[in-house]
Each structure stands twice: as structure tokens, then as C-alpha cells.
Amino acid sequence: EVVIAIARPDPERRRAIVDRCMDAGVQVRSIPPVRDWIGGKLQPGQIREIRIEDLLGRAVIEIDQEQVRETLTGRLVLVSGAAGSIGSELVRQLVRFELRGLILLDLAESALYDLHMELLGAQVRVPLTVLVGDVRDRPSMTRLFEHHRPDVVFHAAAYKHVPMMEDTPGEALRTNVGGTLVLADLAVAYQVQRFILVSTDKAVNPTSVMGMSKRIAERYVQGAARKGRTVFVTTRFGNVLGSSGSVVPLFRGQIARGGPVTVTHPEVTRYFMTIPEACRLVLEAAAMGNGGEIFVFDMGSPVKIKDLAERMIRLSGHRPGVDIEVTFTGLRHGEKLYEELLADAELTERTHHPRILIGKVDDPPSPTLMSSIEALVRDVPLAEKAGLLERMRELVPEYQGAPSS
């Protein structure tokens, strides 16, 4: 058995050590650095197996705490989708700042309750307002903005599962586009200082309904940036490790059941980032934005999902293809072989943070395009699926999926 007890080990070095050990059939564990033993801080629960997150992560991301603090101190912050994977971690990081207050908004009542109990248990000092609500409900959201007058909005509420949205484009439009439209309009009307849209790499040259819906939301936010004084920015990143429905917990469950581990295609690759580091970058981008930018995060090198599956099998003490099989199921409708973070038309500019780039688009949305987006959302209840898809494709000419569904 090998035990890694290095404080903040270099990720590449840690991966190399673990790979060598797995090749030799040696178990690897991780414990806190030696100085913690001497100080009597070592607890039995801190001695643990190496997890796949340990091997996919990178060096700890440092953010400009002072710039973020200046942006957030004394502000009332609203987080939509607060109970989700990204939203809840944003909340956990936001309560470390001296906010005037924090509004947690989500439609998922049970998950929101659990998050609230967690925060109360942690005795956070920031005043909390916990609201069950639907971002698509304009009258309800108007009452929220009228009563609370938030200064900063982090909009993380969205549907994200590609195959499900392929079958229900109306729901993707109502939530991912309609919800964004409602909150963005209210941000302008109530003079919110900053509005941050949490987006996805699936919006780049989209091949799916979900990707198209997020690209349309991005375009609307870019257009809203010209309507008033609110600073609108978009943050775009790839898959986050451990989020609900992501591949890592899926593989863990399949391995625990003895397999097989299902991968869609031998060559499929994805970018990965841990939820905490993604949220740290969202906060930094929120502070540095001037309005209209799409911030793109350096996700590192893409990971081949087949290799990820095999490494997870080996970490569990099994042999890929011997103890647990890896089977290929085929790409699902709307699914990409690989993801992109920037489109060809977007020019990249560096920022002071080495992990954050700005993707600039030459053509801001026209008033006609903004009106077309509003009309599409308005027509969702009466439109047929085929008609909705056709209108979405007209708004997203870079769509690269199937011509009909």
C-alpha cells in the first residue's frame, strides 16, 4: 500500500504516482500532510481512498478575493437555481463574503430545504431569504424584484440533460430561454448592478436542443446589456465533476453493481472541472465583467470518457474488461463527440486571470433578433414540436444537429 501525504501535491505528479501504483496492483490512499499529524489534527476519516476527482483536478485555482469582495460587499445577491449543483456551491462560496443578504430561489422545494438546513447548521452570518419560485413566472418574479431589489443576480436555473430536452424542446425554451428573458428584463427594469448567466460549452456550435436553448439565452443576455445600466456577463464552462446526472456518479453506481460501465462512444471526450473551482471562476468573472462579455474558463485538456471509465474501474480495485466490462451504447441524439468552448466567430482575449478568457462576438443581437426570441418564448404553449425546432434553428444558424426531429 502507498499513502500520499504531500501538502497540495502537483496534480501531474499525483496522477503519475497513482498510475504506477495501479499498474503494479498496489492500493493508494491519501491523508493530510505530515504537519497535521504533529499538530494532532489527523482524524481517522481523513485517511481515504484516492478518488477520480483527485486525478482530474488541477492545481488549486486562486481568485482575486479583493476584487470579488469589492463587487459583493454590502450587496443583496439573488441566486436562481440555488439548490442545483452549481447554484448551491455558489451559495456556499457567497456566504463567505459580507453580503447585505442572499436570496436563494429554486423550484425544487426539498433540495432548497436541505440547502437551507445546511446553511443554518453552518451558522452562516449572511441574512438568508429562501424562496420557492419559478423563474418563468413573470408576475411572481416581478413581485420578488419589487420587494427585495437585488443588486447582483447569478442565474443558474436551467434544464441541462441533453436527451430529455431533445424530446421536450418547449420545456427547454420555457426554462432556459424564457426564464433568462424574465430575469434579464427585470434586472434592467429594477437597475440590478450585475447579472451573471451560467452557461455551457454545449451552446457552442450546438448539436442539441439544450445547446440551442442556452445559445439563445446567451444572445438575449448580450442584447440586454445594451438596454440599461446593468452589467450583463455570461460564464461558459464544460462538465462539472459530481453534478447530478454527470458521468462520474453514473459510473460509480455501475461499478458498485458489478458493471457493465456504459460509454456512448470509444472516442467521445469531455472537459471536466470540479464544482468548487467552476464557481470560484464564476465569481471572479462576475467581478471583472464590463458588460456583454462571454467568459470562457480554461478547462485543461479534454478527457477521453473511455479512459475515465477504465481508470475508475481500476481505482475500485477491479480490472477493466476482466472483472468489469466497458460497453459502448452509441451517441445519443443531440450528443457531441467532443465539446468546444469557443465558436469560430469568437475572438479570444486574455484577462488578468490565467484561467479566464473572454470570447468576444462581433455582431451584438439586433432588436429584430431580440423580438424574435421574445416571440418564440411567447408562442411555446401553442406551437408544435417541429415548428419550435425550426424557429430555434433560425435563431441559431450555427446549429449542427439533425435537420429534422
Task: Report, as residue numbers or ranges, the catalytic residues.
Answer: 202
Orientation of helix 180-189 relative to helix 138-148, angle to 10°: 30
Q: How far is CA 112 from CA 107, 183, 246, 278, in A?
A: 8, 19, 20, 21
List Cβ neighbours of 302 (8 Å cut-off, separation of 6 or more). 269, 270, 271, 338, 339
Torsion of CA 188, 155, 220, 210, to 10 degrees: -160
Q: Classify residue 21 by burial, with Cβ atoms within 10 Å: 0-12, 13-18, 19+.
A: middle
Distance CA 246, CA 248 (A): 6
Q: Classify residue 349 by burial, with Cβ atoms within 10 Å: 0-12, 13-18, 19+.
A: exposed
Which single residue is written with the C-alpha cell 485517511? 47
DSSP assignment letter at 237: E
Task: With CA atoms as reference, report the closest residue to 362 among 377, 375, 343, 387.
Answer: 343
Helices (H), 24-96: 34-38, 52-56, 65-72, 85-94
Task: With CA atoms as reference, report the closest residue to 341 among 355, 353, 331.
Answer: 355
